[in-house]
């Protein structure tokens, strides 16, 4: 379940990751959704008192995966091998794919291929109970935070590609408000816990400054 998007007609690029009802993470997700609904994003991303930071981050990684999954799902027909032959965020930034396992040396590929690799890679990690435990009593691995940072860094690149290469199409589809709200939520979260290096955000620095600077709760 996504905090921001829902409905039976919502298109997704990959199958959505569901957080199981009855788990503590499901309760955390509902709590975060309720706070988000109040409209104060800075309050919504803050770690609730007494809660575990790793669990809070895990719940949000799942949610951002689902949000980006849905946003990209709306523009997949425009992001093709021909129109987006490289995975780029404007003329200055190009991304090559490597996962460290099956693809150890970064490869140049089209945006749809890169995003397919990326979302499959994230999905595999979210489904792995050793990496993203959902049951009470199963500890998070020592490298959880490092893994979460890598996932969020790469998910940011999908936002960057959509904004730089497909924003006109997003506007035509009437999805601009959804995209902006989702991205603002994402940025407030990663800034709150210093989860993405400053230089990685450079492709959307101007937009980030505008979105966060205009927030009345800042």
Residue extents of the structural domains in the chain: 24-80+117-213
Given this model, what pLDDT does residue 135 score? 77
Give phi and psi for 49, each to the nearest 5: -55, 130
* pLDDT tens digits, 56-74: 999 999 999 999 999 999 9
Residue with tokens 């959804």: 178
HSE toward the beta carbon, residue 31, CA cutoff 13 A: 16
Average pLDDT over residues 79-95: 96
- pLDDT confidence of residue 217: 43
Looking at the domain covering 24-80+117-213, what would its CATH class be?
mainly alpha
Q: Is the pLDDT of residue 5 over 50?
A: no
Positions of E strands within the chain:
87-88, 94-95
- For the segment 29-56, the average pLDDT, to the nearest whole number, is 79
| Out of 23-32, 85-94, 128-137, 154-163, least confident range | 23-32
Tell me how many helices (H) and strands (E) the chain has. Answer: 7, 2
pLDDT (0 to 100) of residue 96? 96
Provide the 8-state DSSP code for 202.
G
Determine the Cα–Cα distance for residues 177 and 154; give it in Å rounded to an integer: 22
Annotated binding-site residue? 185: no
**What mean pLDDT is reported for the chain?**
86
Q: Pull the structure tokens for residue 198.
A: 């400053």
**According to the model, what pLDDT value does residue 24 have?**
73
> Does 87 have pLDDT greater than 70?
yes
When mean pLDDT is compared across 12-21, 141-150, 152-161, the lowest value belongs to 12-21
Q: Which two tokens stand for residue 40?
A: 């104060």
How much is the pLDDT for 10?
47
State mean pLDDT over 91-100: 92
201 vs 96, 153, 188, 190, CA distance in Å? 16, 9, 12, 10
- The strand pairing partners of 87, in sequence order, are 95
Q: Residue 43 above 90 pLDDT?
A: no
Q: At what angle do helices 53-75 and 111-126 cross, to 10 degrees?
A: 150
User: For 46, phi and psi rounded to 5 degrees?
Assistant: -65, 145
Please state, in angstroms and rounded to a whole number, the distance separating the CA atoms of residues 104 and 23: 36
Comparison of pLDDT for 134 and 185, the residue scoring more: 185
Predicted confidence band of residue 37 (pLDDT cuts 50, 70, 90): low
N-term to C-term CA, the chain: 28
What pTM, to 2 d.p., does this model score?
Answer: 0.86
Looking at the chain, the whole-number percentage of residues with pLDDT higher than 70 is 83
Query: What is the rounded distance in angstroms from the CA atom of residue 91 to the CA atom of residue 78?
Result: 18
Average pLDDT value for residue range 150-161: 97
The pLDDT of 16-43, averaged and rounded, is 69
What pLDDT is stored for residue 40 in this prediction?
76
Q: Is 109 annotated as a binding residue?
A: no
């Amino acid at each position: 379940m996504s905090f921001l998007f829902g409905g039976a007609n919502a298109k997704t690029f990959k199958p959505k990751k569901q957080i199981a009802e009855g788990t503590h993470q499901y309760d955390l997700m509902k709590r975060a959704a309720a706070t988000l609904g109040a409209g104060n994003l800075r309050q919504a991303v803050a770690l609730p008192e007494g809660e575990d930071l790793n669990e809070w981050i895990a719940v949000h990684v799942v949610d951002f995966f689902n949000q980006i999954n849905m946003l990209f799902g709306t523009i997949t027909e425009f992001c093709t091998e021909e129109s987006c032959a490289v995975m780029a965020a404007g003329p200055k930034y190009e991304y090559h794919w490597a996962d460290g396992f099956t693809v150890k040396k970064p490869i140049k590929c089209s945006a749809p291929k890169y995003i397919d690799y990326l979302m499959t890679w994230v999905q595999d990690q979210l489904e792995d109970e050793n990496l993203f435990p959902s049951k009470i009593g199963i500890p998070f691995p020592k490298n959880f935070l490092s893994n979460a940072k890598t996932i969020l860094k790469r998910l940011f690149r999908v936002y960057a590609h959509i904004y730089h290469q497909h924003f006109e199409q997003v506007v035509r589809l009437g999805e601009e408000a959804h995209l902006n709200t989702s991205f603002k939520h994402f940025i407030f979260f990663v800034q709150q816990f210093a989860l993405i290096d400053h230089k990685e955000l450079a492709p959307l620095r101007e937009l980030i400054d505008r979105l966060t600077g205009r927030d009345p709760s800042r």
